[in-house]
Amino acid sequence: MKEMKPPLFTRAQLATHTNERIGNTTIDEAIARNHEILQLHFFEPLTKPDEYIKLLESIRSSINTPESQGRLEEDWYTEANKHEDEVTILLQHVKYACLYLELASAAEQNKARDRAWAFNSYASLMIGEIIERSAAIQYLNEADRRSERNSNNAQGRNKSVSPVKEEAARLLEDLRPKAGWPYKATAVAVLERPLTVFIESNDISGIQISNMENWLTKWLREDELVNRAWERTKRPKTNNKLQ
């Protein structure tokens, strides 16, 4: 049995290290960390590259007096009422988080450290919710992109397979037995080889030749063009359940 090596640090040492790291964080470091979180989780994935800088500049020029800050917030309120999409609604919360971070920085510069920590703590609470809501928006956006890609891929496959379906319908007419096709399985067996040659000769992608039997069976039953040709060329209906 392999001997277990002792941990590099004891629980007490790890606790001491963690407490020291958190306890010695400066207000400037805490504010910078919150800004980094907002950039990473909101601005970079959901906005234009320069929107973050523009927002901070507008805040910094508007927090000198309560009147200018009030006008800034009124502009935010007016702008938010023009849109109802999720990103714009969340951006309103982000703006206020940035506002409180800038107020924290201003308070620190004025040696009002308690006010600085208070503003930063309030922003931190908002940022926690912002991260969750931003992640939900990004998830939905990615789901929409995947759906669109899948739709485009499906359309591409359908377009490439259309000539094969048209050829299958033509072959059902041209190769029809005098009395009509007795069974779908018979038609599949007869059409499988010429359709394979048709696909190879025309270098058609989007359909696996090895799966031709299953494709033909499905088309005879469900595809509008091929099924219509089948109905015209099959043997008059009998009690046979395979018809």
3-state class of 180 per DSSP?
A: coil
161 and 140: one domain? no
3-state class of 238 per DSSP?
A: coil
- Residue 175's pLDDT band (boundaries 50, 70, 90)? very high
For the chain, what is the domain count?
Answer: 2
39 and 108: one domain? yes
pTM > 0.75: no
pLDDT digits (tens, 9 = 90+) for 209-224: 888 888 899 899 888 9
pLDDT digits (tens, 9 = 90+) for 34-77: 999 999 999 999 998 899 999 999 999 999 999 999 999 999 99
97 and 128: one domain? yes
- Structural domain including 129 reads 26-144
Does any domain span residue 20? no
CA distance 120 to 62: 18
Last residue of a domain, one of 144, 167, 200: 144
Does any domain span residue 106? yes
